[in-house]
Structure 1
Amino acid sequence: MNAKSSVYPAITIASLLGLAMLAIAAMQFSVSVEPPIAPPPTTARVPSTPAAQPTVAANNAPQAKPAASIPGALIMSNQTDVPVRVALLARGKNAVEPAHWDFAPQEGSKEGLVLSLPEGNFKLNKGDILVAFAQDGSGYYWGPYVVGESDAPVWDKKRSQWQLTLK
C-alpha cells in the first residue's frame, strides 16, 4: 500500500507541470522591433537574388544640379515590381506639412507622374527630404534623399523639374 500512495502525488505533479507547459506554449509570446523612421542614406536592403536588387536610376535627359533658389515640380516613376510609398519632409522655402504618395508596381514607369498635394501642385526646394519604401513587407527602401545635395532626385534642366525614378 505504501507504493500505491507514492504514485498518485508523482502523477499529479507530472500532470500539473505538463498542463503548465502547454499553457505557456499556447500563449506564443512574440517581440517585434520597429525599423527606424529614417534608414541610412542611399542604401537598399539587398534581396536574396542579386537580379532583383532595387536601385535608383536617372533619366537619359540632360541633368544638372540646379541653383539653390530654383524650385521645381517632382516627377515620380516606380519601375519596381512592388508597391511603393514616397514620403516628403519639406524643409526648404515654402515648406509644407509632411506628405506621402503611394504607387502601384510599375505605376508611372514610362513617363512618370507629377506629384501634387490636396491644395494643388507644389515645388521641391533644395533641402527637402524624400524617402521611398516598399509596402509589400520586402523591406526595400530608397533614400533618404536631400534635394539638391544627394544623387537623387535629379534635375532635368530642359523641363525645369525634379525626377525620381525607382528601379
Structure 2
Amino acid sequence: MSEVLNVHNRIIAKLCYLNKQHFARVIRHIGAMNKKPINIVLAENLAHFMSQRKLTQKGLSALSDVGQTTISLYLNPERRQTSKSGKMPSAKLSEVESLALALEVDVWELLRPFTEQERIAYKHLEAAYKAMSDGKQEADDTKSGSEAA
C-alpha cells in the first residue's frame, strides 16, 4: 500500500510541477506582450515632461545641449532607422541624462513606463514625501535652535 502511495505522490508532485511551469511561462509571455519598447517609453515620458514645462524641442535643445533633431527622433522613434543588424537604435544615456537635468527630473523618470494613474499617484507620493521632509527639517532646525539657546 505504501508503495502505491509513494508512486501516487510522485505523480501528483510531477503534475503540480508541470502546471506551475506552464503558468509561469504563460505569465512571462503575457508580461512580455504588455511591455513597451524602451524607445516608446522614452518618447511618451519626454513628451509628457516637455508639455508639463511648456517646452518646445528647440527650447529643450537649448537647455540640454542635445540637438533638436535628436530630440525630434527621440519623440518619434518610428522615424529612426534600424541598424544593419535590424536593431532599433536606442538613445544615448549621456543624452538622456542631459535631457533629465534640463527637465528637472531623475533619469529613471524618463525611462520607466507610467500609466496616467501611476503618474498621479507618484505626484501625490512625491508631494507627501516633500512635506514630510520639510516638516522634519523644520523640527530639526527648531531643535538645533533650542539647544543653542
Q: TM-score when scaled to structure 2?
A: 0.32
Bigger fraction of residues in helix: 2
Question: Which protein has the larger Cα radius of gyration, Structure 1 or Structure 2?
Answer: 1
Higher RCO structure, 1 or 2 (CA under 8 Å, sep 6+) = 1
